[in-house]
Chain A
Amino acid sequence: MAWLHTWSGLLLGWLLFTIFLAGTASYFREEISRYMRPELAAVAFDPVRAADAAQRYLTRHASAATRWSVTLPSARNPDELSVFWRDAERRSHSHLVDVRTGERALVRDTRGGDFFYRLHFDLHYVSARTARWIVGFAAMMMLVAIVSGVITHKRIFRDFFTFRAGKGQRAWLDAHNVLAVLPLPYHALITYTGLVTLMFMYMPWGVSSQYGEKTTPFFDTVFGQSAALEPSGDTANLAPLGGMVNRAQRHWQGAHAGFISVSNPGDRAARVDVRRGQGCDVAVSTAGIEFDHRGVWLRELDSSGGAARVREVLYGLHLGRFAPPVLRALLFVLGLAGTAMVATGLVLWGVKRSRSRERAGAGDRVVAVLNVAVVAGLPLAMAALFWANRLLPIEMNDRAEWEIHAFFVVWAGALVMALVRCDQYGWRRLLGAAAIAFAGVPLINALTTERGLIHSLVSGDWLFAAFDFAMLTIAVVFTAAVWLLGSRQNAGREVPRVLRKAEV
């Protein structure tokens, strides 16, 4: 059983580290997006006005589309209004609309915090389908690692609080145990609920065995949607969306609308589906109101049944959108703990193996190199993304994609550096680079935008100030890590063989 735990954890450890770190960063997805779009000035949160602005834009630019999708601003991100449609050639268009003018938002092209969110289940450079299967496999291995870890560590409560610092392998093991066991409910829940979010893709057999090919009625019930309509062919003006949003919000007693879906816009058979926003309840919301093209209330939509509610609660627990600021910060801390749990597991594996062999084998070197490249390289790449966001020319083509290329190029560079030196010096070098990179983010922000740290503090722009402070804090943490690793060497304390100067 210990064998199962070690191997299931190791083989996908680097992928799991990436998933955990990107996922943890996604707790602040909206905040990261706002930081990466400094041109967007703060706007008062008003879904009704946003809906009207979106309608103006879509009527002008997407009149031929059969379906409009509008993602309304949320309280945490009141200036981000995005619209989506497919044109006659099935090409997709996704634009940000300025809430105040109804025109295209004049903002730099960037994926913002959504990049980290997508990275943690869609990866990149592979199709979403492939990525989700890989991530699902990793999540399943993680679940097995958790279960087998609990079974292995039978006397789990004896070592519950034990952390013996500075004693080489023992310290890494203690750290791994503490980081794993104390937040165990969190890790188990995140892993399981992560699988639940994509469960219809991973385990479609229940649906297909009961519904065969005709799965639409099932999914309509689960997601609280009404059946699609064919367009009638007669044109008719669409009533103001803002009014419909207003009526829906009043019905929900203050809960905001989050999403609007318009099918057959401009047709007499148009249907407007106003969906409730997320975050009011632990469960994700599948509630919606359906209107016809004149704004007449047709019906209320929602999923039905206890099992559906269980799915929504589990899904909502994974996303964490319900969390108020303090709880969100705590979830972030536990997410970091999970990330550190994976990292300490990876380091521990390397340390343990190097002790039981006289010479470092080829496999050990692969582990050592990947450990450095991933654990130290990924944070470095994240900082590089923020650098690219500020430094790439605004008018560049495919700017959003190039920010992401910069992220991966820097990560590849970290791999090269790790190949050269994967011992303690190699760790210190990359961790030091990460420290410098993070410290540089507020600096570059101040140099390239008008929303530098001083300005944020003076004008009360607390989001930008907090973000800059967070970058500096992370830089301090990495600096401390570099210092700690150095002092261990100088103090002559037991240094695991794999971290000593690499034996050629």
Chain B
Amino acid sequence: MAAMLVSALCYSGLCALCLSMARHYRQCWSRAPQPYTVNALRVIGWPALGAALCASVARWGAGLGSVFAVTALGAVGLLLVGLMSWRPRWAVLLAPAWLAVAAGLLLA
């Protein structure tokens, strides 16, 4: 299901970008991130968001696709913030889990 994949990519991208900020990295692992970790997270994060947009446009066309991507980004972002402030580790774990579920649904 394309909606799951787009949402999963949005979530993972936002999660990576969120963790690339020292304040939020510390929320999870109680220490400052290494410079290369920060860069790695940014390299993962932005392309993930780009991929979400591409997947959305590929599935629904330019108009509907871009609306879906932007909307999903906002909604998923709120979920991320809520989780991060409640259980940071779970918030991080959700990213690969959601991607795995979405990939599984697509391949099945």
Q: A contacts B directly in the complex (CB < 8 Å)? A: yes
Query: Which A residues contact B (CB, under 8 angstroms)?
Result: 158, 160-165, 178-179, 182-186, 281-283, 313, 317, 322-323, 326-327, 330-331, 333-334, 337
B78 near A330: Cβ-Cβ < 8 Å: no
CB A128 to nearest CB in B, in angstroms, measures: 29
The 3 closest A-B pairs by CB, nearest first: A183-B74, A182-B77, A282-B63
B71 near A334: Cβ-Cβ < 8 Å: yes
Measured in the bound complex, the distance between the Cα atoms of B71 and A317 in whole Å is: 12
B82 on the A face (CB < 8 A): yes
Report whether over half of chain B's contact residues are helix, strand or loop; otherwise say mixed. Answer: helix
B106 on the A face (CB < 8 A): no
B75 contacts which chain A residues (CB < 8 A)?
183, 330, 333-334, 337
A-B contact pairs, 16 of them (CB 8 A): A161-B21, A161-B24, A161-B84, A163-B85, A178-B78, A178-B81, A182-B78, A186-B70, A186-B71, A282-B63, A282-B67, A323-B67, A327-B3, A330-B71, A330-B75, A333-B75
B78 near A337: Cβ-Cβ < 8 Å: yes
Q: A163-B82, A326-B3 are in contact. Are A334 and B74 (CB under 8 A)?
A: yes
B80 on the A face (CB < 8 A): yes
A331 near B71: Cβ-Cβ < 8 Å: yes
Measured in the bound complex, the distance between the Cα atoms of B84 and A248 in whole Å is: 53
A334 contacts which chain B residues (CB < 8 A)?
71, 74-75
A179 near B78: Cβ-Cβ < 8 Å: yes
Nearest neighbor of B84 in chain A, beta-carbon distance: A161
CB B17 to nearest CB in A, in angstroms, measures: 8
Q: A186-B71, A327-B71 are in contact. Are A164 and B78 (CB under 8 A)?
A: no
B85 near A164: Cβ-Cβ < 8 Å: yes
Contacting A at CB under 8 A, from B1-54, are: 3, 14, 18, 21, 23-24
B68 on the A face (CB < 8 A): yes
A327 contacts which chain B residues (CB < 8 A)?
3, 64, 67-68, 71
B21 contacts which chain A residues (CB < 8 A)?
158, 161
Measured in the bound complex, the distance between the Cα atoms of B72 and A326 in whole Å is: 10
CB A244 to nearest CB in B, in angstroms, measures: 29
Measured in the bound complex, the distance between the Cα atoms of B70 and A182 in whole Å is: 10
Nearest neighbor of A164 in chain B, beta-carbon distance: B85
B63 near A313: Cβ-Cβ < 8 Å: yes
Measured in the bound complex, the distance between the Cα atoms of B77 and A281 in whole Å is: 27
CB B97 to nearest CB in A, in angstroms, measures: 19
Q: Out of A182, A282, A283, which one reaches B81, CB within 8 Å? A: A182
Contact digits for B83-106, partner A, Cβ 8 Å, 1 yes 0 no? 011100000000000000000000
CB B90 to nearest CB in A, in angstroms, measures: 15
CB A338 to nearest CB in B, in angstroms, measures: 10
Nearest neighbor of B2 in chain A, beta-carbon distance: A326
B63 near A281: Cβ-Cβ < 8 Å: yes
CB B61 to nearest CB in A, in angstroms, measures: 9
CB B14 to nearest CB in A, in angstroms, measures: 8
Measured in the bound complex, the distance between the Cα atoms of B81 and A327 in whole Å is: 20
B70 contacts which chain A residues (CB < 8 A)?
185-186
Nearest neighbor of A329 in chain B, beta-carbon distance: B75
Most chain B Cβ neighbours within 10 Å, of A161, A182, A282, A327 = A161
A160 contacts which chain B residues (CB < 8 A)?
18
Measured in the bound complex, the distance between the Cα atoms of B73 and A316 in whole Å is: 20
A164 contacts which chain B residues (CB < 8 A)?
85
Measured in the bound complex, the distance between the Cα atoms of B21 and A11 in whole Å is: 36
Measured in the bound complex, the distance between the Cα atoms of B42 and A104 in whole Å is: 62
A165 near B67: Cβ-Cβ < 8 Å: no
Measured in the bound complex, the distance between the Cα atoms of B14 and A160 in whole Å is: 10
A317 contacts which chain B residues (CB < 8 A)?
67
Nearest neighbor of A283 in chain B, beta-carbon distance: B63
Nearest neighbor of A179 in chain B, beta-carbon distance: B78
CB A332 to nearest CB in B, in angstroms, measures: 9
Q: Out of B14, B74, B82, which one reaches A185, CB within 8 Å? A: B74
Most chain A Cβ neighbours within 10 Å, of B21, B72, B74, B86 = B74
Measured in the bound complex, the distance between the Cα atoms of B77 and A162 in whole Å is: 11
CB A21 to nearest CB in B, in angstroms, measures: 17
Measured in the bound complex, the distance between the Cα atoms of B18 and A116 in whole Å is: 37
Measured in the bound complex, the distance between the Cα atoms of B23 and A158 in whole Å is: 9
A162 contacts which chain B residues (CB < 8 A)?
23-24, 81
B63 near A161: Cβ-Cβ < 8 Å: no
Q: Out of B3, B74, B86, which one reaches A182, CB within 8 Å? A: B74
A322 near B78: Cβ-Cβ < 8 Å: no
B80 contacts which chain A residues (CB < 8 A)?
161
B77 near A183: Cβ-Cβ < 8 Å: yes
CB B102 to nearest CB in A, in angstroms, measures: 13
Measured in the bound complex, the distance between the Cα atoms of B48 and A206 in whole Å is: 44
A185 contacts which chain B residues (CB < 8 A)?
70, 74
CB B8 to nearest CB in A, in angstroms, measures: 13
B3 near A165: Cβ-Cβ < 8 Å: no
Given contacts A158-B21, A330-B74, A333-B75, 12 further A-B contacts (CB under 8 A): A161-B21, A163-B84, A163-B85, A165-B85, A165-B86, A178-B81, A182-B77, A186-B70, A281-B63, A313-B63, A331-B71, A337-B78
Nearest neighbor of A157 in chain B, beta-carbon distance: B21
B18 contacts which chain A residues (CB < 8 A)?
160-161
Measured in the bound complex, the distance between the Cα atoms of B64 and A326 in whole Å is: 12
A322 near B71: Cβ-Cβ < 8 Å: no
B72 contacts which chain A residues (CB < 8 A)?
330
A165 contacts which chain B residues (CB < 8 A)?
85-86
A282 near B64: Cβ-Cβ < 8 Å: yes
Nearest neighbor of A166 in chain B, beta-carbon distance: B85
A322 contacts which chain B residues (CB < 8 A)?
64, 67
